[in-house]
Amino acid sequence: MILSTTLKPLYSEICSILKDGAVETPELDARLIIEERSGYSWSDIIASPDSDITQEQYDLIVVDIKERLSGKPISRIYGAREFWGLEFKITPDTLDPRPDTELIIELALKSFGKDRPLRILDLGTGSGCILISLLSEFPNATGYGVDLSYGAVKCAKENAKKNHVGDRASFVCGSWLEAIGGKYDLIVSNPPYISNQIIPELSKEVRNHDPILSLDGGKYGLNPYKIIFPALKTFLNEGGKAFFEIGYDQEKDVMRLAEESRFMQRTVHHDLAGNPRVVDISGGDK
């Protein structure tokens, strides 16, 4: 692979290579690679197109291009991902956060006053992105994250400290609600909801780089909801809410499971693409 060593031509060449390699966002990825490895910004690419790339920077950029063409996401190459305007470390033990999951943060902000001293529980916390983002928005809240993966718990603790909420966040390794006690005002989760029958059909970015523990929801992708929902009321304060991310084709099944668990209030919220994305459950017995 032979590339230009001046800034703007290099950017154009990387865009072309990534586009030919069927990368979904070639322009964005090219910019991120250049910014990460050279220190030049997008404004530099526009205003100083003839700036030189050093040999060391060039060599790192070539390696990154090859990794991206192999299907490794940019976030995995650099071990970091932005979510809700914050930067999170990600590891092989954690799911790569997606923008669609930010809907949970939006719904929580609509449901509670920002100064309320909430107790928040995040089930399957992974990198901690949901819980930490919520704590950044609710300055008087405390949060608890649970994950079956010790590596994920370790990563979440680091992210909480990095994003200045470490003194209000606690993390524990365990299985769903079995690992914790007490009651909470807000319970959130992005559980594994992919059917294990279709995991081999997922994009290589997902199936080769996201941990199987964060993807596999059993034969129909419903196992976590079946485990959590029947016990959820024991942990939810009066007036509390629970938000669970769901798959695009799971609305009816998840709503049925919520009804079977005797939740009167059940609402599904859609993402920007119009797909069912988050189920909101609360309320007393029927």
CATH number, domain with residue 268: 3.40.50.150
Give tens-digit pLDDT for 38-57: 999 999 999 999 999 999 99
Residue 89 lies in a domain: no
Give tens-digit pLDDT for 236-266: 999 999 999 999 999 999 999 999 999 988 9
Structure confidence at residue 265 (pLDDT): 87
Residue 85 lies in a domain: no
Give tens-digit pLDDT for 212-230: 999 999 999 999 999 999 9
Residue that is last in its domain, among 38, 70, 102: 70
Considering the domain architecture, whether residues 111 and 60 belong to the same structural domain is answered as: no
Considering the domain architecture, whether residues 131 and 247 belong to the same structural domain is answered as: yes
Residue 82 lies in a domain: no
Structure confidence at residue 78 (pLDDT): 97
Considering the domain architecture, whether residues 166 and 269 belong to the same structural domain is answered as: yes
Considering the domain architecture, whether residues 26 and 159 belong to the same structural domain is answered as: no
Tokens of 242: 């629970």
Q: How far apart are CA 222 and CA 207, in angstroms?
A: 19
Considering the domain architecture, whether residues 137 and 185 belong to the same structural domain is answered as: yes
* Containing structural domain, residue 23: 7-70
Considering the domain architecture, whether residues 55 and 156 belong to the same structural domain is answered as: no
Residue 45 lies in a domain: yes
Q: Are strands 236-245 and 276-282 parallel, antiparallel or unpaired?
A: antiparallel
**CA 153 vs CA 47, 161, 190, 270, 283: distances in Å:** 43, 13, 15, 29, 31
Structure confidence at residue 89 (pLDDT): 98
**Residue 5 CB burial class (10 angstroms; 0-12, 13-18, ≥19):** middle
Residue 122 lies in a domain: yes
Q: Is the pLDDT assigned to residue 285 strictly greater than 80?
A: no
pTM of the full structure: 0.93
Residue 183 lies in a domain: yes
Crossing angle (nearest 10°) for helices 223-232 and 251-260: 30
Considering the domain architecture, whether residues 194 and 264 belong to the same structural domain is answered as: yes
Considering the domain architecture, whether residues 105 and 62 belong to the same structural domain is answered as: no
Considering the domain architecture, whether residues 276 and 134 belong to the same structural domain is answered as: yes
Residue 18 lies in a domain: yes
Structure confidence at residue 98 (pLDDT): 95
Considering the domain architecture, whether residues 124 and 239 belong to the same structural domain is answered as: yes
Give tens-digit pLDDT for 101-147: 999 999 999 999 999 999 999 999 999 999 999 999 999 999 999 99
Q: How far apart are CA 252 and CA 74, in angstroms?
A: 34
Considering the domain architecture, whether residues 262 and 167 belong to the same structural domain is answered as: yes
Tally of structural domains, the chain? 2
Give tens-digit pLDDT for 172-196: 999 999 989 999 999 999 999 999 9
Residue 86 lies in a domain: no
Considering the domain architecture, whether residues 176 and 220 belong to the same structural domain is answered as: yes
Supply the mean pLDDT for the chain: 96
Structure confidence at residue 283 (pLDDT): 62
Residue 249 near residue 220 (C-beta atoms within 8 A): no
Structure confidence at residue 226 (pLDDT): 98
Running DSSP on this structure, what letter comes out for residue 231?
Answer: H
